[in-house]
Structure 1
Amino acid sequence: MLEVHRVPGGFVTGGFTDHHVHLQLVDAAALAGSVLGRVIDLGGNPEVLAVAASREQDESGVEIAFAGAFLTPPGGYPSDRAWAPAGSVREIADADAAARAIAEMKDAGAGCIKIASNSTAGPVFSDDLFREIVALSAANGLPVVAHAEGPGEAQRVVRLGATMLAHAPFTERLTESEIDLQAESAEWVSTLAIHGDGAYEIAVDNVRRFYAAGGTVLYGTDMGNGPTPPDLNPHEIAALREAGIDGEDLLRALDPVPGAPCLFIPGESFDPLLARPLTPADLEA
C-alpha cells in the first residue's frame, strides 16, 4: 500500500527505493543526505555488502538489501569486466556449484539471487541449469533477478522462472504478446537513463507498453554505472514520465519505505523531484 499523507502545504512519505544500485562503485556515505530510504544492490561482494548494510542502517538510516555476487557461467558477463569488484562474481559450471553459491549468498544476508544472462558478452546458462538455479533459489526463499541482454534473453529468462528483470528490456522491441506475458510474470526495474539513444528509445517504448498492460515497473538507476548520483536521479524520473508513469503511479514505482515518514513534498501534486527530508516545521499548520 502506498504510504503518502496529505499535510498543510504538501505531502509526507517515506524515503524512496532505488531497486538497482552497485554500492561498491559509488560513495555510499553520500546516501545519508539523500531522499533514498532504501537501496537494493544487484551485484557485489556479499561480505562487503553485509558490512555496508549494517553500517549504513546505523549511521544514515538507509536500508540496504542486496543480492550478493552475480551468478554467471564460466567466462560469462561480467567476469571479464574491470569494474566488477573482487568477489562480486561467481562462475557456475553446474548445479552443485550453484547450490554452494546460493547458500553463500543466503548466509551473507542476501534477499534475492542475481543471474547474469548477457549473450552479447559471453556464454549464458543453458535452459536446464537456469531452471535449476531458479529452483535452488526458491528452495532457499530467494527470488531470482536477471540481467537479460541480447536477442530473446528477456523473454527466455522470464520463461525459465526469473521474476524480476534488473533492466527494462533494451536489446529489442518486444511484441505485444511478449509484453503481455512479461506483465503477467515479472517485474521490471527501469534503469532507462543509463542508455544511449537507440537502446533508450527501445527501453522506453517497452516500458510504456508493459506499464499499459498492467506490468509492475520499479524505479532503479543502476547506480554506479556512469555518473549516477547517490540520490534520486532526475534523468530516470524524466524517462519514467516519458514512458507514461507519473503521479501516484510514479510514487508507487519509487516504493516509499513504510514506517516513520521522512520526506516532505511541497505543492498540490506528487512530484518526487521536490522531495526533501522532513523537518518539524513542515508539520506546522
Structure 2
Amino acid sequence: MRLAIALVLAAVVAAPALAQTAPPARVLVHCGTLLDPAASDEPLGERTVVVEGGVVAAVEAGYTAAGGADEAVDLRAATCMPGLIDMHTHLTSESRRGGYIDDFRLSPADKAFKAAQYALSTVLAGFTTVRDLGGSEGIDLALRDAVNRGDVVGPRIFTAGKSLSITGGHADPTNSYREDIVGVPTETLGVVDGADSARRGARIAIKRGADVLKITATGGVLSLQGDGSGPHFAEDEIRAIVETAADRGLKVAAHAHGDEGMQRAIRGGVASIEHGTYMSDETMRMMRERGVYLVPTITAGKSVADSARIAGYYTPRVTEKSLEIGPLIQDTFRRAYAAGVPIAFGTDAGVFRHGRNANEFAYMEEVGVPFMEALRFATVNAADLLGRGGELGSLQPGFAADLVAVAGDPLADAAAMQDVAFVMKGGAVVKRDGQFVPPPPRAR
C-alpha cells in the first residue's frame, strides 16, 4: 500500500528541493538489438544510442565507451526501439462495470487524479506519445499541460478536447438522460448541427487548445445512443470542420464504424478513420488514394466484446452493440492491411485498462502482420499522422530521445511487448529494470 501511494505521489508532483545534481554530459544506451523501421527494415545488433540534451545525437555501431561525465545504460541483453505512439487513447476515463454513473458520481478533480494514474500506466507501458481523442471538462487539456510542465509523469499528449457530435450522436453527452435535467447541448458541449454550427464548434475546440479535432462520423458502441453504425454528419458539416481545422494547422480524426459515414468523412478531408468496422473495398480504395490512415483499435473491439459477456457490465443496448461490432474489427484490419491502406497504431485505451496498449501488437500478429510492420505503424506512420515525422517515431539523430526496451524478442513473439523493462522519454529515464523511476526533485 505504501509503495502504491508513493508511486501516485511521484507521478502527480515532482517535489521541491534545495539543489539538483548536474545531468550527465551524455547518456550512452547500449542496445543488444535495435529495431528502428525508419532506419532499417532489419534488426541492428550491438548499437549505442547517444543522447544529449533530450535528443538523439548519434547511433553508433558497437558499444561506445563512456567518458567521465557520461552515463551508460546497459541494455545489451535487451531489444531497443523508438518510443511507441498510440494514436487513439482516452486518458481521462477507464471502463468499468456500471461506469455510466461516474459522470454523476465523480467530480472533475476526482477524474483528474485518476487521469494522472492512467498517464503513468501508459508511459510505463512504453508509450511515450499518445493522441487523446475525446475528453471532457478540460481534463485532457490540463493533463497535457501538466505533463509538459513536468508536474505529472506521462506520455507526450496531443489531445482533441471534447469530440464533435451531431445532436443525439455518439458524442452527445446527454443521450438517454432526461432533457429537463441535462438540457439540450450546443457547440460549447461539442454538439453541432449544420455547417455554420460545425464551424463554430470547431473554433471553440481550437480556442480551448485542441491539438487535433475529432468528429463522430457514425454511431458508436459504448455511448447511450441506439445506432452503432449509421452516418451522422452531412458532408458539408464535415468539410466545414476540416477547413476550419486546416486554417489553424490542425488535422481531423473521424470515429466511424459504418461505411457511408466513412466515405463522407474521407470526401470531407479527414486525416484518419478510427475503428473502420464495416469498411468496404471501395472505402479502402478511397483511403489508399487519398492517404487517409486507418487507426484500427483491435484491442478495443476484443475488450468490449469480452466485457459485454459479463452480466451488468454495460446497458442492454450497449451490450448488444458490443457483441455485434467488437469482434469484427480485427478482420477489417486484416483486410485493410492486405489492401495497402495506410495504418497507424491505436488502441482506444480507456475502453479497456490503461497500460495494456501493447496487446495490439499481438492481435496484429494473429492475422499475419510481421512485427517490424506493426512497429512501423506505432512509430513512423503514427508520427507522420501526427505531423511530427521529423521529431518522433525514430532514433535517428535529431529526433526526441524516446526509447523503450523489452527483455524478450518481439520479432519472434509480439507478446514480448507486454513486458517493458526500460523507458526513456525526451532523454529522461522513466522506467529501469522494470521499475518506475520517479523524476528528480526540482528546485523552486
TM range (shorter): 0.7 to 0.9
Separation of aligned partners in 1, 2:171 and 2:410: 41
Structure-2 separation of matches of 1:88 and 1:25: 20
Count of residue correspondences? 275
Within the alignment, does 1:36 sit opposite 2:127 as a pair?
A: yes
In 1, Cα distance between equivalents of 2:88 and 2:338:
22
Q: Name 1:276's counterpart in structure 2.
A: 421
Distance verdict in 2 for CA 1:156–1:113, change over 3 Å: same
Q: For 1:131 and 1:254, how far apart are their aligned partners in 2? A: 28
Q: Deviations over 1:150-193 (max 9, x none)?
A: 352223321222220121x21x3523x43222223310112112
Determine which structure has greater relative contact order: mean sequence separation of CA pairs < 8 Å that are 6+ residues apart, divided by chain length: 1
Give the match for residue 70 of structure 2: none
Task: Give identity over the alignment, percent.
Answer: 25
Residue of structure 2 in register with 1:107 after alignment: 207
Residues 9 and 268 in structure 1, CA contact (< 8 A), matched pair in contact too: no
Deviations 1:227-267 (A, max 9, x none): x2322435422221223323211111222475214311234
Return 9-18 or 68-77, whichever deviates more: 9-18
Match of 1:260 in 2: 401
Q: Does 1:2 align with 2:70?
A: no
Q: TM-score, normalised by structure 2?
A: 0.55
* Paired residues for 1:177-188 under 5 Å: 177-185=282-290, 186-188=292-294
Larger Rg: 2
List alignment gaps of at least 5 residues for structure 1: none
Contact kept, 8 Å, 2:160 with 2:210, in 1: the verdict is: yes
The one-letter amino acid of 2:136's match is N
Q: 1:154 aligns with which of 256, 262, 274?
A: 262
Alpha-carbon spacing, 1:82–1:254, altered in 2? closer, same or farther (3 Å) = farther
CA distance in 2, matches of 1:25, 1:156: 29
Which residue, out of 194, 203, 221, partners 2:300? 194
Are the equivalent residues in 1 in contact too, given 2:300–2:349 (CA < 8 A)?
A: no
Bigger Cα displacement from structure 2, 264-273 vs 107-116 = 264-273
Gaps in structure 2 of 5+ consecutive residues: 1-36, 47-75, 95-113, 178-184, 220-226, 306-322, 380-392, 424-430, 435-444
| Corresponding residue of 2:162 | 69
| 1:6 and 1:12 in contact (8 A); partners too | no
Secondary structure of 2:216's aligned partner: strand
Change (3 A) 1:123 1:56: same
TM-score (norm 1): 0.82
| Residue 192 of structure 2: aligned partner | 92
1:237 is aligned with what amino acid? F
CA deviations over 1:66-105 (Å, ceiling 9, x no partner)? 111111122222213589xx99941112333333322222
Q: Matches of 2:324 and 2:362 in 1, distance apart?
A: 17
RMSD: 3.1
Q: Alpha carbons of 1:184 and 1:141: their partners in 2 closer, same or farther (altered >3 Å)?
A: same
Match of 1:137 in 2: 245
Task: In structure 1, give the amino acid aligned to 2:130.
Answer: V
Give the corresponding residue for 1:54.
145
Render the CA deviation track for 1:192-234: whole Å, top value 9, x for unaligned: 1222365345322221222123222222121122xx2322435
Aligned-partner Cα distance in 2 for 1:200–1:101: 30
Give 1:209's aligned residue.
335
